[in-house]
């Protein structure tokens, strides 16, 4: 399949590595020639270019409409590939790589001389990770080069967890989309800055803070977006991580995030949904299975669109469906999205980070809302 020059090919991630590598030879050739290829990872779909080719990397920014000061993550397939990309590898970096790579952890280290300046947005550090998705690993190996890749979407939109999401955003803008099925984790990698002392989580993601602290006990979290993270301090100078300075993860409809005790959230969401529907607005609910059930018992109008994101008792399921549900509600043409909050333990911190960023400051205290 193709659309205005964008090829779309499907591969089965369960195939043996040698079969995957053979299927990905054309995608690898595109990367080596300076083209752009979207590919699946275990977190979300990435938009890849040769990290050594400044012109190719610049095409990523152009295709996404991405601000030039927003750095990219370099993806590698072997620990040996880390040395040319970074200037120094600390003991903590080796320990974390052994514990979590391949996997959804990005580490920030001083930049080496093996990548284009455009990757780091002119900064002195570089973000690197080794994905665990078999298609991503095979593509990096066959291409024979480090791949710079942000999420494969229009900048600021919900991240893509399916090839269809990439197609909707970028068909006609990039050279190829490799369809390897839905991403598993559903939120981006954790970004850990090892040039800070103590190490600082700049973006929560697929590896939890609790897991990181088992390896590096003094890890702290950048306080931002009302996620309940502990102190750390804002960064000055060039951005060191994607997603720190610009609006991210936003559906087309305005998203309002309710906070507070869960049952109060359910009552407040149902009350607001009824009021908005009665005023003639098309409303979507971005909620857990439990909240959806409670809202329906409360008698919300039928025209309200409900997108369930999994169970509150399994936040991994919420993470895996979050962006897909946002895009579903956009596809339903809702004008407003009402969303609930979650506990920030484990991957819940990443879920709340994305929800608060998506809301852009539109937070509603459920207790105060219920009193009005």
pLDDT at residue 247 greater than cutoff 70? no
The answer to whether 337 and 255 are in contact (CB under 8 A) is yes
Kindly report which listed range (62-76, 137-151, 218-232) carries the lowest average pLDDT score.
218-232
pLDDT at residue 245 greater than cutoff 60? no
Predicted confidence band of residue 238 (pLDDT cuts 50, 70, 90): low
Q: What is the CATH number of domain 254-371?
A: 3.40.50.11030
pLDDT of residue 303: 86
CA-to-CA distance for 115 and 128, rounded, in angstroms? 11
Span 321-363, pLDDT tens digits = 999 999 999 999 999 999 999 999 999 999 999 999 999 989 9
pLDDT at residue 235 greater than cutoff 50? no
pLDDT of residue 302: 82
Q: Tell me: domain 2-221, CATH 3.90.870.10, correct?
A: yes
Q: Is 172 left (phi over 0), alpha (psi -120 to 50) or beta?
A: left
The 8-class DSSP code of residue 342 comes to -
CA-to-CA distance for 357 and 152, rounded, in angstroms? 18
| Residues contacting 119, CB < 8 A, separation 6+ | 51, 57, 71, 72, 74, 126, 148
Domain boundaries, the chain: 2-221, 254-371
Length of the chain: 372
């Amino acid at each position: 399949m193709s659309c205005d020059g964008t090829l779309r090919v499907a591969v089965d991630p369960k195939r043996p590595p040698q079969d995957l590598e053979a299927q990905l030879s054309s995608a690898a050739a595109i990367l080596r020639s300076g083209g752009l290829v979207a590919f699946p990872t275990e977190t979300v779909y990435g938009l890849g270019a040769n990290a050594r080719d400044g012109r190719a990397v610049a095409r990523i920014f152009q295709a996404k409409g991405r601000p030039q000061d927003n750095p990219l993550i370099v993806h590698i397939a072997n620990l040996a590939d880390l040395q040319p990309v970074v200037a120094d590898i600390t003991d903590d970096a080796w320990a974390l790589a052994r514990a979590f790579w391949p996997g959804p952890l990005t580490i920030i280290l001083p930049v080496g001389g093996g990548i284009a300046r455009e990757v780091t947005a002119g900064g002195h550090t570089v973000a690197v990770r080794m994905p665990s998705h078999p298609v991503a690993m095979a593509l990096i190996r066959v291409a024979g080069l480090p791949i710079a890749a942000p999420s494969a979407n229009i900048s600021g939109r919900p991240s893509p967890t399916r090839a269809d999401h990439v197609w909707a955003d970028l068909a006609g803008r990039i050279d190829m989309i490799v369809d390897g099925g839905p991403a598993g984790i559903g939120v981006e990698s954790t970004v850990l800055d090892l040039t800070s002392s103590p190490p600082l989580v700049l973006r929560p993601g697929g590896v939890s803070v609790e897991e990181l602290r088992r390896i590096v006990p003094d890890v702290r979290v950048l306080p931002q977006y009302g996620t309940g993270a502990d102190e750390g301090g804002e960064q000055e100078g060039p951005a060191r991580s994607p997603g720190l300075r610009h609006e991210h993860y936003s559906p087309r409809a305005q998203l309002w995030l309710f906070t507070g005790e869960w049952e109060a959230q359910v009552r407040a969401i149902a009350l607001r949904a009824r009021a908005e529907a009665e005023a003639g607005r098309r409303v979507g609910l971005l909620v857990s299975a439990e909240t959806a059930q409670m809202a329906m018992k409360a008698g919300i109008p039928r025209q309200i669109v409900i997108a369930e994101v999994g169970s509150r008792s399994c936040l991994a399921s919420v993470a895996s469906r979050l962006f897909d549900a946002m895009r579903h509600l956009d596809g339903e043409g809702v004008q407003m999205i009402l969303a609930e909050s979650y506990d920030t333990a484990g991957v819940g911190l990443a879920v709340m980070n994305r929800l608060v960023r998506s809301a852009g400051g539109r937070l509603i205290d459920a207790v105060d809302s219920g009193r009005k």
